[in-house]
Amino acid sequence: MTSMDWSVGRYEHTATQLLPAAEVVVERAAPAMGEHVVDVGCGTGNAALLAAGRGARVTGVDPAQRLLAVAREQATARNLEITFLPGEAAALPLADASAEIVLSVFGVIFAPDVKAAAAELARVTAPRGRIVLSAWIPGGPISQLNRIASEAVMRALGAPAGPPPFPWHEHEALSGLFGPHGFTLGLEEHQISFTGASASEYLDTESDTHPLAVAGRAVLEPRGEAQAVRARSLEILQAANEDPDGFRITSRYVVATAQRA
Ligand SMILES: C[S@@+](CC[C@H](N)C(=O)[O-])C[C@H]1O[C@@H](n2cnc3c(N)ncnc32)[C@H](O)[C@@H]1O
């Protein structure tokens, strides 16, 4: 199965919004000086840059070539030496047991083959190493937006609705995934807020920049179906708005730590 290319749109905008989550994940992983950290689905390098800033030896892996190029530029600008490699979660270009820490900030959750991705993260993790990942908790306004957009895209393409997404936010599901590889799971909950001048300004910026939205519009617009999705999305955002003087919504997510004995 192939995934979509996150090089489309302008992921840089989303990366800025998600930086607080990368900070939480890196803080939780607590890389020591010289430890090898692998950032899976590194995008423009949020977590990789933070880990390298703490003195870790870092490798970032992502399938999106344009995002890797942005990540490399950022590392150079900050005078940090980081290796950024093309690759995906289920086929990491790294040796067995080569990383003390494997991180993934909303990255591995996009892998089409969940079991293969988990096995691969486990393969590169060293004995007594740890995997720290973040995953959205479904149910908030953004997850509703993503669901209606992806359902509209599937309908437009005449594709059957896919299976429900893997519950990356659930302790039991993660234990089932990583337990057989010798890991013990811990889970904590966090939240992150997104702001804008108004619901419609926020929505317009997301539709113009977020790779999933840009890819969805490319399918829906020529078929005249983008407007209906936009109208429904706006209703959801307006109903969820927490700021009477502007726009703010909050998404909940988990940070899971899988520790290998
Ligand atoms: C929401 S972004 C997160 C990027 C980055 N970790 C951050 O915090 O900004 C999702 C990232 O996962 C990457 N991705 C998508 N499918 C993937 C896969 N199968 N394996 C690894 N990464 C993948 C995308 O290219 C994208 O960079």
Q: Write out pLDDT tens, residues 132-172.
A: 999 999 999 999 999 999 999 999 999 988 888 999 999 99
Q: What is the mean pLDDT of the chain?
A: 96
Q: Which atom of ligand 1 is nearest to the CA of 6?
A: 25
**Taking the model in full, what pTM does it have?**
0.96
Chain segment 1-60, per-residue pLDDT in tens: 447 899 999 999 999 999 999 999 999 999 999 999 999 999 999 999 999 999 999 999
For residue 45, the CA-to-ligand 1 centroid distance in Å is 10
76-106 b/e (C-beta count within 10 Å ≥ 16 → b): eeeebebbbeebbbbebebeeebbbbbbbbb
Nearest to 71 by CA among 37, 42, 36: 42
Sign of the dihedral through C-alpha 146, 251, 112, 105: positive
For ligand 1, say whether the CB of 6 is within 6 Å of any of its atoms: yes
For ligand 1, say whether the CB of 62 is within 6 Å of any of its atoms: yes
For ligand 1, say whether the CB of 101 is within 6 Å of any of its atoms: no
User: What pLDDT, on a 0 to 100 scale, did the predictor assign at position 34?
Assistant: 95
Chain segment 172-186, per-residue pLDDT in tens: 999 999 999 999 999
Is 261 a residue whose pLDDT tops 90? Answer: no
Determine contact, residues 144/236, Cβ cutoff 8 Å. yes
Residues making up the chain, counted from first to last: 261
Q: Which atom of ligand 1 is nearest to the CA of 47?
A: 8
* Residue ranges of domains in the chain, CATH in brackets: 11-260 (3.40.50.150)
Tokens of 261: 């004995």
For ligand 1, say whether the CB of 70 is within 6 Å of any of its atoms: no
Q: Which atom of ligand 1 is nearest to the CA of 105?
A: 6
For ligand 1, say whether the CB of 51 is within 6 Å of any of its atoms: no
User: What pLDDT, on a 0 to 100 scale, did the predictor assign at position 161?
Assistant: 81
Chain segment 66-86, per-residue pLDDT in tens: 999 999 999 999 999 999 999
Comparing 232 with 3, which gets the higher pLDDT?
232
For residue 183, the CA-to-ligand 1 centroid distance in Å is 23
- Give me the percent of the chain exceeding a pLDDT of 70: 99
Determine contact, residues 62/90, Cβ cutoff 8 Å. no
Q: Are strands 183-196 and 247-260 parallel, antiparallel or unpaired?
A: antiparallel
Chain segment 131-142, per-residue pLDDT in tens: 999 999 999 999
User: What pLDDT, on a 0 to 100 scale, did the predictor assign at position 247?
Assistant: 98
User: What pLDDT, on a 0 to 100 scale, did the predictor assign at position 1?
Assistant: 40
Q: Count each helix (H run) and each strand (E run) in the chain, helices first.
A: 9, 7
For residue 62, the CA-to-ligand 1 centroid distance in Å is 6
Nearest to 258 by CA among 130, 97, 162: 130
Chain segment 85-103, per-residue pLDDT in tens: 999 999 999 999 999 999 9
